Structure 1
Amino acid sequence: MTDGTPRQTPAATARGKYAPVRMHESEILRRGLDTFAELGYAGTTMRELARRLGVSHNFVHERYGSKDDFWRSVVDFALRDAQPTLDRLLAECHDDDERLRSVIVHLYRLAANDSAMNRLLSDESTRDSSRLDHLHQRFIKPFWDSVEPVINSLMDAGRIPRVPAHILYFAVTGPALALAQDPIADRLSPDNLPTAAHDRNAMADALSALVLRGLLPPRL
């Protein structure tokens, strides 16, 4: 039995002029992701985070410790399923051609449908920082460690060119990161429709087909 008092969500209770936080933890982290993606880490102030979350200016500090700790919680939340999903996908494929094709299609669809995480990854990849170290350790390196044996096997078989690992990384991930560039895509769109109105999976599939045509041509 209860005394009629509403049960709190997993989020912490904010103090000050704001009402108690009744958002689920996932909503807090999603709003944090959107803010970091839009403004960048340096441009995201504690005050702005508090405003967008509708909490007191002490909330992030009290709940997470610091802006950097909150950023790490946001990234870990957004990427928590990435590697397990990739591992399952690779296990379901029958050969290395299929594995690489499946990885690229999957990666581009993820990028197209989560532009906030895509923008954050693109921005942080240009900066030598502890945040990039975190992304590399928790997401980028595990991803590449999973894919590199497939790529090496395809190189040995003469299916793809033998080039340095970072060049292939750019070839695979660069177009995916570009899927976050909606403003320029809107200006280039021949039908004058905003990118948001397009089928995101269809966009991703068209791009992955183009990349794969050059990287891994069909067998003769």
Structure 2
Amino acid sequence: MFLDAALEAFADLGYHGASIRELTRRLDVSHGLIHAKFGSKLDFWKASVDHGMQRLVQQIEKAAFTGNPDATPEQRLKDVFVSLLMVLDQAPAILRMMNHEGIQESERLDYIIKRYMLIGTFPGDIIIEEGVKAGLFRNVSKPVIFFLIAHGGGSIFSLRALASNLGIPPLKTKKARQLQAEEIADTLIRGLLI
């Protein structure tokens, strides 16, 4: 909960806008606690990011590797996409934080890229490659697909005020959020099909 709240604060304020004073106020802790436990604001930020990203990675891998092994690449890809979107629904701060950090090159962006983006392959990429080889999917840029699902579709869950103002009704139940995630995944996958 503590690191979730810290990630929310960094997502809302950005790294530079999140002073230690503001962080301690929002988290209702002493300045000394943050310093004693994490050392620096950057280390506190890293711990918050690690907490959010590890949860995201675990859920995506679970969807990719524990589903029905007999499922088509299309269904397996949908499972991965929906899983990603549902995690972003449950923890939208990770995507909002990425929107802040993705604006310009920084030590923090490098940390995210090296620690989470370059260490392995997004499970969806593996499934897309299988689909391309099987003649089911177009051979498209996998990073573009990731951006479309995470930062395009995911924004419906992480930028709720914007989504509402654009006419997307509030997704008040888990079932409604699941159906929205499936619609987003289906739409993107239809664009991949040959």
Give TM class, smaller chain.
Answer: 0.7 to 0.9
Q: Number of paired residues?
A: 188
Q: 1:141 to 1:96 in 2, by over 3 A?
A: farther
Q: 1:176 to 1:130 in 2, by over 3 A?
A: farther
Given that 2:52 and 2:91 are in contact with CA atoms closer than 8 Å, whether structure 1 keeps it comes out as: no
Report the CA distance between 1:127 and its aligned residue.
2.6
Task: Give deviations 1:17-41, integer Å, cap 9, x for gaps.
Answer: xxxxxxxxxx221211110111111
Q: 1:74 to 1:157 in 2, by over 3 A?
A: same
Matches of residues 1-80 of structure 1 in structure 2 within 5 Å?
27-80=1-54
| Higher relative contact order (Cα pairs below 8 Å, separated by 6+ residues) | 2
Higher helix share: 2
Matched, 1:150 2:127: yes
Q: 1:57 to 1:176 in 2, by over 3 A?
A: same
Tell me the percent identity.
28
Flag structure 2 segments of 5+ consecutive residues without an equivalent.
Answer: none
Report the CA distance between 1:143 and its aligned residue.
6.1
Q: Which has the larger radius of gyration?
A: 1
Separation (CA, whole Å) in 2 of partners of 1:85 and 1:187: 29
Separation (CA, whole Å) in 2 of partners of 1:205 and 1:165: 19
Report the CA distance between 1:136 and its aligned residue.
2.1
Matched with 1:88 is 62
Q: What residue identity is the alignment partner of 1:68?
A: L
Task: After the TM superposition, list the runs of 4 or more consecutive aligned residues in structure 1 that deviate by more than 4 angstroms.
Answer: none
Report the CA distance between 1:142 and its aligned residue.
4.7
Separation (CA, whole Å) in 2 of partners of 1:167 and 1:30: 28
Separation (CA, whole Å) in 1 of partners of 2:49 and 2:90: 16
Matched with 1:171 is 148
